[in-house]
């Protein structure tokens, strides 16, 4: 399967898209004003222990306290005296006022603070270091028994007699022992530095920050299936080249810089696919459709025949629609990064073998998903219960905000997203040498957002393109609407 990474990088926003056979399957959006926490390591303070919930709240210096479950507490943490009994109540593991080193495992979602763990892991290009857990593992996606045995022997050689563990990532398949050792040594040096900072720091606060999104995506998903890496930013290309030179020299040849005038995401049709991923209704090629409703901790998906009338009988029409929907649902879960409890309401089928066929189709389609999924089964009514692990917000939560016009029952693009859409258009229009000034008419709230939060960016663009950019409030416009006027005199 041919895959391509497309990186749209601006000083205010980085967007990374993964295409498989030219279809968008994953999208990552990170803005300079966003706070990305997963992977970060903090020195925290236990502020409340909840024996009834077998959990604790940890102050790591963020607005919301972090949440730590008893199962996420490693029994050999060097800062905590743990009892040997794994059933020990959390009250005997943690005390209020105690300092503890934790890593963010899940971003703050909705009203919840981040979820943290003391089972710290440091991912490299090929290996994951478990510095306080002396056990090893091999990625389940490496299927060859010979390769698994080879990697097991190598990492056991690295960890024998040591107090740390290693996990061989999918990317380690076929990689030489020399490169694996280099990755291991880098991670051990990183852990030594983290421990040094932790001992030096007396209060709560950040100890270690995850790398930027473009490098993180390269590190986590680059594999033999990736045959192109394309970015529209020269500085990003240099940063990626430096990273690949150290960790994957062969992959440097995959990297190229996009230089056309048309925005890179428009050229590859990604903007259109992102827009589709924000819609509740997704049409199937047959004429059927699915409805996706996202709640705080669950997702409900409804399958409908729509305009599809089939060719023979009703049962065949229903089965064909459900089979097509199963593939589309797996695709949408991955694209939208939907997680938590997921209920899929397939159209009711009479025959048990038809239900099994649809269930197998869903399981097969989910194999492409890196996130952990678990299908419970299908009920008599055709309802499928499943879960999908999530560590970050869905694409809707990431780039949209609750709609003020419908009191939160739906979504509109956030002021920030609208502003950045305008900036992308302005970058294109500003290349016209005859244009002297550009006036943008938009909703007053978006104008206020730009002048209050993005003034430095406006100044930068005016200096770069040697043009004036004026944002005029027009209260009749919806906040997602705007009009651009090019002035040539």
- Tell me the per-residue pLDDT of 238-276, one tens digit each, with 9 for 90 and over: 989 988 887 778 888 899 999 999 999 999 999 999 998
In the predicted structure, residue 408 carries a pLDDT above the cut 70: no
In the predicted structure, residue 50 carries a pLDDT above the cut 80: yes
> Given this model, what pLDDT does residue 74 score?
77
What are 128's two structure tokens? 């994951």
* DSSP-derived pairing of the beta strands 41-50 and 99-106: antiparallel
| Predicted confidence band of residue 474 (pLDDT cuts 50, 70, 90) | very high
Measured between alpha carbons, how far apart are the two ends of the chain, in Å? Answer: 52
pLDDT tens digits, residue range 434-461? 888 999 999 999 999 999 999 999 999 9
> Given this model, what pLDDT does residue 263 score?
94
> Given this model, what pLDDT does residue 312 score?
67
Residue % of the chain over a pLDDT of 70? 93
In the predicted structure, residue 362 carries a pLDDT above the cut 90: yes
> Given this model, what pLDDT does residue 336 score?
93
Contact 148, 193 (CB under 8 A): no
| Predicted confidence band of residue 391 (pLDDT cuts 50, 70, 90) | low
Count of H-run helices and E-run strands, the chain: 12, 26
Q: What is the H or E stretch that residue 334 is in?
A: helix 314-336
215 vs 79, residue with greater confidence = 215
> Given this model, what pLDDT does residue 84 score?
43
> Given this model, what pLDDT does residue 77 score?
44
Q: Which of 39-48, 219-228, 309-318 is least confident?
A: 309-318
189 vs 390, residue with greater confidence = 189
What are 372's two structure tokens? 């952990």
Burial class (CB in 10 A: 0-12, 13-18, 19+), 161: exposed
Q: How far apart are CA 80 and CA 68, in angstroms?
A: 14
> Given this model, what pLDDT does residue 140 score?
84
Task: Read off the pTM.
Answer: 0.70
Ordered DSSP codes for 134-150: ---EE-TT---HHHHHH
Q: Give the list of residues 6+ apart from residue 482 with CB closer than 8 angstroms, or none.
A: 418, 422, 440, 441, 442, 443, 446
Residue 224 — φ and ψ, nearest 5°?
Answer: -65, -20
């Amino acid at each position: 399967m041919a895959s391509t990474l497309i990186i749209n990088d601006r000083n205010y926003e980085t967007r990374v898209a993964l295409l498989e056979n030219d279809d968008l399957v994953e999208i990552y959006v990170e803005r300079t004003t966003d706070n990305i926490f997963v992977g970060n390591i903090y020195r925290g303070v236990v502020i409340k222990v909840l024996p009834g919930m077998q959990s604790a709240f940890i102050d790591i210096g963020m607005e919301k306290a972090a949440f730590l479950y008893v199962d996420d507490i490693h029994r050999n943490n060097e800062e905590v005296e743990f009892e040997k009994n794994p059933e020990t109540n959390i009250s005997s593991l943690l005390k209020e006022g105690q300092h503890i080193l934790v890593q963010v495992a899940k971003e703050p979602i909705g009203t919840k603070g981040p979820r943290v763990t003391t089972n710290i892991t440091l991912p490299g290009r090929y290996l994951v270091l478990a510095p306080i857990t002396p056990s090893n593992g091999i990625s389940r996606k490496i299927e060859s028994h010979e390769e698994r045995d080879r990697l097991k022997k190598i990492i056991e050689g690295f960890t024998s007699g040591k107090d740390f563990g290693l996990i061989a990532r999918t990317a380690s398949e076929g990689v030489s022992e020399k490169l694996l050792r280099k990755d291991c040594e880098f991670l051990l040096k990183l852990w030594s530095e983290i421990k040094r900072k932790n001992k030096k720091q007396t209060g709560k606060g950040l100890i270690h920050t995850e790398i930027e999104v473009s490098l993180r995506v390269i590190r986590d998903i680059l594999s033999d299936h990736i045959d192109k890496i394309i970015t529209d930013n020269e500085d990003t290309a240099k940063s990626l080249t430096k990273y690949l030179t150290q960790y994957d020299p062969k992959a440097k040849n995959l990297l190229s810089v996009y230089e056309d005038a048309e925005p890179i995401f428009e050229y590859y049709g990604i903007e259109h696919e992102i827009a589709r991923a924000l819609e509740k209704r997704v049409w199937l090629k047959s004429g059927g459709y699915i409805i996706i409703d996202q709640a705080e901790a669950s997702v409900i998906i409804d399958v409908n025949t729509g305009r599809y009338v089939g060719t023979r009988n009703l049962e065949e029409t229903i089965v064909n629609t459900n089979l097509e929907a199963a593939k589309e649902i797996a695709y949408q879960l991955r694209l939208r990064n939907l997680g938590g409890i997921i209920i899929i309401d397939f159209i009711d089928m009479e025959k048990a073998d038809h239900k099994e066929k649809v269930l197998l189709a869903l399981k097969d389609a989910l194999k492409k998903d890196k996130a952990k999924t678990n299908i419970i089964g299908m009920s008599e009514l055709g309802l499928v219960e499943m879960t999908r692990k999530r560590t970050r917000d869905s694409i809707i939560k990431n780039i949209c905000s609750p709609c003020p016009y419908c009191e939160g029952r739906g979504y509109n693009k956030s002021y920030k997203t609208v502003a950045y859409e305008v900036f992308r258009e302005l970058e294109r229009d500003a290349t016209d040498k005859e244009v002297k000034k550009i006036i943008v008419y938009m909703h007053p709230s978006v104008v206020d957002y730009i002048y209050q939060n993005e003034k430095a960016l406006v100044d930068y663009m005016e200096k770069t393109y040697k043009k004036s950019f004026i944002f005029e409030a027009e209260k009749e416009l919806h906040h997602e609407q705007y009009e651009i006027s090019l002035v040539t005199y």
